[in-house]
């Protein structure tokens, strides 16, 4: 009787997509406008989902107020109103694409959420571009 419960949060950040091992031409060709050396930014919408059985005492799979606090204290504090390339430890050698940001958030939260709950991250970079990890 497994239920998936989800909490939506958001953060705003600047980033730049480029591969330091490539020439400027390669970066321009692959990343185009996203390679602007002075950065651009997004309002990221983040959905964190947990799968588990409702606790018969509370009717909750997971208290979403608690989940919201865990996200704020472990993810938003690191990413919100930041330059992802310069202000965080996560993207020193990792390109801050939506895919990689989702993977980073999954790894942070996986350590904070009891392993009995499956964990899934959905990240909207824009209303039209979004990613999910794991995929299924």
Strand partners, 123: 46, 131
Task: Tell me if 54 contacts a second copy by CB under 8 A.
Answer: yes
Residue 40 catalytic?
no
Beta carbon nearer to a second copy, 40 or 112 = 40
- Sequence-distant (6+) residues with CB within 8 A of 17 are 31, 34, 35, 95, 96, 97
Residue 42 catalytic?
no
The interface with a second copy within residues 9-48 (CB under 8 A) comprises 9-10, 12-15, 17, 19, 30-34, 36, 38-43
| Among the listed residues 57, 111, 115, 116, the single contact to a second copy using CB under 8 A | 57
The interface with a second copy within residues 61-120 (CB under 8 A) comprises 61, 63-65, 68, 80-83, 86-87, 94-100, 102-103, 118
Q: How many CB atoms lie within 10 A of CB 112?
A: 13
Q: Is the peptide bond before 134 cis (omega within 30 degrees of 0)?
A: yes
How many residues bind a second copy (CB under 8 A)? The answer is 66
- Sequence-distant (6+) residues with CB within 8 A of 90 are 78, 84, 96, 104
Active-site residue (options: 9, 34, 99, 132): 34
Which backbone phi and psi does 47 adopt, to 5 degrees?
-115, 125
CA distance 48 to 46: 7
Which residues form the catalytic set? Answer: 34, 81, 125
- Chain contacts with a second copy (rule: CB under 8 A): 1-10, 12-15, 17, 19, 30-34, 36, 38-43, 51, 54, 57-61, 63-65, 68, 80-83, 86-87, 94-100, 102-103, 118, 126-136
């Amino acid at each position: 009787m497994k239920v998936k419960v989800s909490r939506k949060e958001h953060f705003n950040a600047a980033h730049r997509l480029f591969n330091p091992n490539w020439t400027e031409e390669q970066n321009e060709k692959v990343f185009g406008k996203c390679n602007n050396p002075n950065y651009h930014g997004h309002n990221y919408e983040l959905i964190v989902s947990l799968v588990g059985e409702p606790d018969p005492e509370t009717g909750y799979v997971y208290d979403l107020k608690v989940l919201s606090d865990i996200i704020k204290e472990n993810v938003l504090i690191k990413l919100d109103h930041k330059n992802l390339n310069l202000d965080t430890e996560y993207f020193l050698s990792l390109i801050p694409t939506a895919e990689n940001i989702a993977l980073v958030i999954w790894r942070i939260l996986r350590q904070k959420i009891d392993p009995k709950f499956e964990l899934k991250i959905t990240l909207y970079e824009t209303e039209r571009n979004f990613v999910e990890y794991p995929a299924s």
